[in-house]
Amino acid sequence: MKRFKLSVAALTLTGLIFIVIGMYFIFLRPPFLPGDSRYIGTTLAAINDAIPGLSGWITKVFWVMGGYILTTGLLFAYVANTSFQKQMKGVFSLVTIAGILSIGLMTIVNFIIDSDFKWTLLASTLPWIIALILYKFNK
């Protein structure tokens, strides 16, 4: 039973991590990070000269993306403390697929683009993975 409570806590932590990432995208993330211009192969100044309105537009895109990430976190935390905790049918598959398509895909893409945040995001997947492993051990 203790292991199962840890799985609920780990999945709740996953939700909290998403909430923090979402808030970062909404309130703190600049339109371009150093890794963005490295990946594109040009300078931020060249990007702004070529497309003057891009920074303002991409900021708003990140507000929306942040909202979706934050919402995903709220839903993960809610599921952790309701259907995951009750071990309802299908919840393991749902949490597995949701994690793969959210933090998993985000992490993979950050490795593809060689982001400065790739290792931080990889570490952020650990509570989700731990929650799934502990859930299965409790079955």
What are the C-alpha distances in Å from 75 to residues 11, 12, 78? 11, 10, 5
| 2 has pLDDT over 90 | no
Q: pLDDT tier at 1 (50, 70, 90 boundaries)?
A: low
Determine the angle formed by the axes of helices 91-99 and 126-138, rounding to 10 degrees. 160
What are the C-alpha distances in Å from 136 to residues 3, 10, 75, 129? 10, 13, 21, 11
- Please report, for the chain, the start and end positions of each structural domain, with discontinuous segments joined by +: 2-138
Question: Residues 11-68: pLDDT tens digits?
Answer: 999 999 999 999 999 999 999 998 898 999 999 899 999 999 999 999 999 999 999 9
| 139 has pLDDT over 90 | no
Question: Residues 34-43: pLDDT tens digits?
Answer: 889 899 999 9
